[in-house]
Each structure stands twice: as C-alpha cells, then as structure tokens.
Structure 1
Amino acid sequence: MNRSLKVVFMGTPEFAATILRRIVASPHQVLAVVTVPDKPAGRGQKIAQSEVKTEAGKLGIPVLQPVKLKDPAFISELNQLGADVFVVVAFRMMPKEVWSMPPHGTFNLHASLLPHYRGAAPINWAIINGDKVSGNTTFFINEEIDTGKIIFQEELTIGNTELVGELHDRLMISGAELVVKTLDAIADGTAKPVEQPHTLEGQPLKQAPKIFKETCKISWSDPCDKVMHHIHGLSPYPAAWTTLQNNITLETTPVKIFKVSIVNQTTNQLPGIISSDGKTFIHVTTGKGTIAIEELQLAGKKHLSTPEFLRGFKDIEKFRFS
C-alpha cells in the first residue's frame, strides 16, 4: 500500500462498531466518527448511546452526533477534518452535501450481493427467502439508495438451518476485512468500481424492505421449509411470532419461536396441529410437512429450549398454533 487514508467513519450498531475497530487496527487513520444522537431506550427509558459511539470512546476517537446531516455547522466541521474518504456502515441516508465532500468519495458496506437486496434488512431477507448464498458489497454512494458503483464483493454460503444472528456475525467479520481491502485499493489507486446491473440474468432483483411486526407473523399454512426459513430469518431478533390457542377455551397467548427443524416434508394435515411427548419434543404441522420446535418464548417469559419449556407447560397437545 502506498499510503494510509484519513477516514471519517459513519455508523450506528454493533455491526458497524466491529468494522470501526478493524479500520483502527489497519494503517488507515480514523479522524472522527459520526453516529446518531443519544436517545432514551428500554423500559426505564434511560439515555443510551450507539454501539459505535461506545466503541469510539474506547478507542479515543472524536464523535460527531448531528441531529440533521444538512446542518451547516456539521457540514463545516466535517470539512475542517480534511478526510480523504468517508466510510458508511449501517447509518442514515446520506445527503449529497456529505457524501460528495471527500476527494476519494464515500463508500458503503452493504450486507448483500448487490444489486440484490437493496434496502434495510438484507441479511434477514436472504434467509427468509431460502437463499444459499449471501455476502458483502462495498460501493460508492450516489443519489439513490444502494445503487452506486461496486468496488468489491465477497460471497458467503448460507447454511440450510443458519439463523440470521449467525449469518449477521459472519458477515460482520468478513465485512470488516472487505472494508480494509477497499481502503487499501483506494489508497493504491487500484480500485476499479463498476456500475450495478439493473437485472441479473433477466431475473427481477430481490428486495430487502424494513421488517415490521406483521412481517414476523408465522403462516402455518406455508410448506415446512418456508416456515423454517421465515423463523430462522428473524432469529434472534426481531423474532417470528405466532399464537398458542387453547382448543377448549380458545384463549390465546403470543409466542416467539427462534429455532426449528424439519421432521418430514410430506405430512398433509391441517396446519398448526401440535403433537408432543410432553417432555422432549413439540411437533407442528404446516401446509406441507411437519417441523420440530427447538427454542421458543411465551410472552413475558424466558427464551427456553423445548425440554425446558415443557417442564413448566403441561398438556401442550390441548393447544394449537394459529
């Protein structure tokens, strides 16, 4: 590498904090971090700071927390830093006044193989859709979200029963290396960004919209493999949910389900029917096939394995999922 770059890093969650830590360990110099303002969080509504701010504090890096990214005072402060490049990971939409500022541009790390899965939740949707491959992309930011020129991409194979939390962590580690690789290439002048295609092999592009509560509701009438991918694509957060209904009183209780496995793919019964030995397993019928629930959580209770859950919940076969 010919020289190190002066970097301003922009991000919010743990995913971004890990990338920040890796850049600091590289030859490149992080001048400052930009992250969201502190805000109330949790039941006690205590003021909380982002994971990126916490990490920057540990590393002794100055932190900027603008309420508005177009604020003239913030723009002026950024200009005065004299950064070569801005790096963005899991942050807000960037105005042109910001991303066009540094001489080497602003690049983003996105946890998908663009142009597939532009949007807010690429890791979730890759698993929900049953994809076999995911990955990371670095690209230069432009006027439209997630559409800029691609610098580098790296693929990761998705395990058949992998949870989104597990894939998130693997993408986080590999993404950190990809960001440093991108910085090195920009510093050396060897980065050769290419335009994103509008389609891939004539197929429509897969999208990654924001996850809402209704997105997380389990549809037991779907085939078992689709039910499994839906649950795993939301585990551990925000978590797929359903209702446990008493067959006699018809009372219902919300339940989050975190992990399942396929028992068979051919059973053809009414969906949501429960069978169990009352001790070690809970099987549930789907639109086609049966799954075994391995981890779940009743509303207001702890996240438990199925054997732990059954020790405190009797007569599970008197219920069904709806």
Structure 2
Amino acid sequence: MSKFHYGVFVGRFQPLHAGHEAVIRSALEQVDTLIVLIGSSGQARTPRNPFTCAEREEMFAKVFKHELTTGRLILKPVSDHPYSDAAWCAEVQRAVNETVLADYNKGGVVLHGLQDIEIALAGYGKDRTSYYLKLFPEWGNVQLASQYGTFSSTDVRRQLFQRIPVISRSVLSAGVVEWLEAFVLTETFRALLEEAEYLDAYPGQWGRGPFVTVDAVVIQSGNILLVERGQAPGKGLLALPGGFLDPSESIKDAAIRELKEETAISDHKGEIPPAMLASFIDGTKTRVFDHPDRSLRGRIITHAFLFRLPERRELFSVTGGDDARSANWHRLGDLKSEQFFEDHWSIIQLMADL
C-alpha cells in the first residue's frame, strides 16, 4: 500500500513523449492510482496544441494500455483558464473529486467526501509553467527528481511541422510514432503545417510586438455577434470582431471601426453610425487581456469592449466584411470552446459573465 491513495499529474502531452512516460511511471511507484489531467482540452487546434484530448488519450492507450485497463491510470480533460487561476484550480479540484469518488465507490465502499483519502500532486518544477504545483496546499506532494532527458514537446513539434516531417523515434514510444506517422498524412496536418509556416514568417514581416489590438463583444437578446476568420491564423474559426489599432485613433474608436468594417452591423434604418454604437458600450466592463501566450503571432495585447444592444426579437442585421469570411449571430448557449480563435472564448466568458 502506497502512502497516497491517488496522485494527480497535469500536462498537455502535445505529444506524449518519453519524458512524460518516465514521470508517470515514477509517480505510479509512489501512489495507488494516478489521475492524469490532460490540459488545454477543448481548444481549437494550433501548432502549439495540435492534438485533441481524444487523440492524446489514444497515444496514452498505446503506451499505458495495462495501467489504463487495470484502473491504475485514469485520464481526465481540463480546460485552460488563462485569466483566472481560481477558475482553473476549481476545475482541477472538481475533476479530481469526481474521479476519486467515482473510482473509490466502485469497490463497494460508498464515500460521500474525501476526508479519509490521501491525495498528492505529482510533478517537478521544470519551468514557469509548473507554478501550479503551489496552488493545491490541501494535497500532499510527490516530488519527482527531474524531467527525463533534455528535450520537450516543443522540440518534438518543431521537428514534426516541416514539409518533410521528422518523427523523433528516439524520444517517442513505438505506439506514438505509429500514431504520428498516420497523422502526418491527413489534411488536418497539412492545415496545421500551413499555419505553422505562417506563424514562423510572421515576426520577420511584422516584428514580435508588443502590438495593440481591440475586440468587440456584442450581445443582443442572448446572442453574440461573431465572425468566421477568412485567413490564417485561425482560418475557419470563430472570433470576436476586432483588429489592430491604427496610429491615429483612440482604442474605443478602433473597436467601433473594426466592428463596422467586419460586420456592417445595421438596424432598419441602415448601418448604425459610430456615435450610436458608442452609446451601447458598457464602460464598466472594458478590460485588457494581456496573457503573454495569448497569441502565437507575438506579444499582442487586446482591449475588449462590451456592446449591449437593445433587446428585441429581430436582431440587428450583419454581413461579413474586411478579412472576415462571414459574420453571424450565435446563441450563447450553443457555443463550444474548441470553435474559437486564440483566447476569444475566455474573453467572452469573462466579459459576458458566462
């Protein structure tokens, strides 16, 4: 019997490599059951997060089939909350609590709380992304010496996303290699490669920033106004109407200009003039979103404005314009995080109080 009933290990596993495997096997020696939380789940694919949660689970199944079958290893998805550590902690706590109760109760002993269950967070302080190890003081700690080897998932992806992909067999298990060999033959890989090439070239053309942008969160009668991006990056994904600040305008004027250019928002009298759009802005909700990793293009800081339009059965008409493929109203309750470009879903959640 181990000192801890359950261990918790968090990672993105983009993709699962030998370093992750070594950490997981080390943790399994110190806990009865290891819960692996697959981070950055429910996001649109990007060159940084190219694999869905289901695909990463397939990689785990190829490497840890016995551990998964016997229940010693349990996989659960968790989403990103880049602007709220508290929200992320709450999601992790819920995922662990629900998993432990469901798993432990299978043994016939019904638990209603976790008072008698010893849980430990497993990990190593490899870099700034491991700050989460300090966010759960209620759990014990299983300290692992260090990451196996000198590589990371970033190195694996860098070799993968090339015109002639290189699959790093020296740091990937045979099952993961097999999975990736099939993946690089798909249209999904082709689209991700094109986006990776665009992002690699972006700093040479535009610099690394910091850049200032604006985004419009436009709400009317339980619907939100969104555009579909017509070009890279994020081609085909949903996004807030917005864009870069011009040198000669204020940030608020830029938000109104971008809203008009990308949606041609109109009422029964025609396109709504800037002054009227400005009157719809809820000044108490204006917010800066500046997570350092919010965009793969570079350091981009955006200012979001909440436009509260009058409630009515017939929504204002919109038409996609500028670099937006289309503009449409979407019911807030129908949207999913994986449909969105960059951090726009996080912005909507915070601005619209979802």
State the TM-score, normalized to the length of structure 1.
0.29
State the TM-score, normalized to the length of structure 2.
0.27
Higher relative contact order (CA 8 A, sep 6+): 2
Task: Give the helix-richer structure, 1 or 2.
Answer: 2
Task: Give the strand-richer structure, 1 or 2.
Answer: 1
